Amino acid sequence: MADEASDLNSLTAAPNAASRTPGDVPERVRRRYLLESRGGAGIDFYVDGTVTAASFRDQGRRLTTPRSDPNVIGDLVEIARHRGWTTVTVSGAGSFRRQSWLAGRTIGLDVRGYRPTQRDVQALDRRLDHRLAREAGAAGTAPPRSPSAHDPKAGASAAEVRARMRIVEAVVRSRVRTEEGQDRILQSAKARLGAWLERGAHLRPLKVPEPEIVVARGVRRERRR
């Protein structure tokens, strides 16, 4: 596919990342691949001994892959978590950056280099709900449920909190240019939301603005109200 060709897709750790040692991967990931060191610094990971192209290359602080394979992307974010990375930057094909954002955010990574859409935020919230339900099932407990109409005094559920923060983050990432400004606003939003929830506050439905069609000098484009 043209979207996945030429340039390598990459997932890069922040400069102060904990572990940057090539080959430092979870045992589950190591068992899935054959490893080979050649052609400069780094380790290539192959799915078997017959393929000529590596699934991905581990350069310590940077993980690269020529494709947008969801399975490989899942392994890359698992490696990032295993190494203690909290912030990663993605580059390359749009499909790679989107899938990396979804996979990374699902396990709690701060993923930069991709601006999520409203649908991405909704997809992430569903992933988080599925993960929470799966973990609750494994632990033999029931996952948190949203307050029902018969329980008006119940506070906001975990799912509602996650959904609200996903929307806030998407808006901030798309409208604030600097990472410092984004982080400052998001930290403030999290603190305020936490304070409200401690008081048992409810979350009112958040209205996401619909696109408004604007015509300027013969060019038709959309803008947010």
Supply the pLDDT for residue 41: 77
Q: Are residues 109 and 79 in the same domain?
A: yes
Q: Are residues 6 and 81 in the same domain?
A: yes
Separation between Cα atoms, residue 195 and residue 215, nearest integer Å: 43
Q: Are residues 97 and 71 in the same domain?
A: yes
Q: Would you say residue 188 lies in a domain?
A: yes
Q: Are residues 25 and 69 in the same domain?
A: yes
Separation between Cα atoms, residue 28 and residue 221, nearest integer Å: 48
Structural domain of 176 = 121-201
Q: Are residues 101 and 130 in the same domain?
A: no
Separation between Cα atoms, residue 217 and residue 210, nearest integer Å: 22
Q: Are residues 5 and 105 in the same domain?
A: yes
Q: Would you say residue 215 lies in a domain?
A: no
Supply the pLDDT for residue 6: 43
Domain boundary among 83, 99, 114: 114
Q: Are residues 160 and 105 in the same domain?
A: no
Supply the pLDDT for residue 195: 57
Number of domains in the chain: 2
Separation between Cα atoms, residue 79 and residue 22, nearest integer Å: 10
Q: Would you say residue 222 lies in a domain?
A: no
Q: Would you say residue 206 lies in a domain?
A: no
Q: Are residues 108 and 129 in the same domain?
A: no
Q: What share of the chain is helix, strand, coil (3-state, %, to 5)?
A: 40, 15, 40
Q: Would you say residue 224 lies in a domain?
A: no
Q: Are residues 108 and 77 in the same domain?
A: yes
Q: Are residues 62 and 148 in the same domain?
A: no
Tokens of 114: 């991709």
Q: Are residues 102 and 136 in the same domain?
A: no
Going residue by residue through the chain (225 aa), what tens digit of pLDDT does each one get?
A: 334 344 689 999 998 877 888 999 999 999 999 999 976 779 999 999 999 999 999 999 999 999 999 999 999 999 999 999 999 999 999 999 999 999 999 999 999 999 999 999 999 998 888 877 776 666 565 555 544 434 444 445 556 666 667 767 776 666 666 776 677 677 766 666 665 555 555 555 544 444 444 444 554 444 445
174-183 long-range contacts (CB < 8 A, ≥24 apart) are 174/115, 179/112
Q: Would you say residue 68 lies in a domain?
A: yes
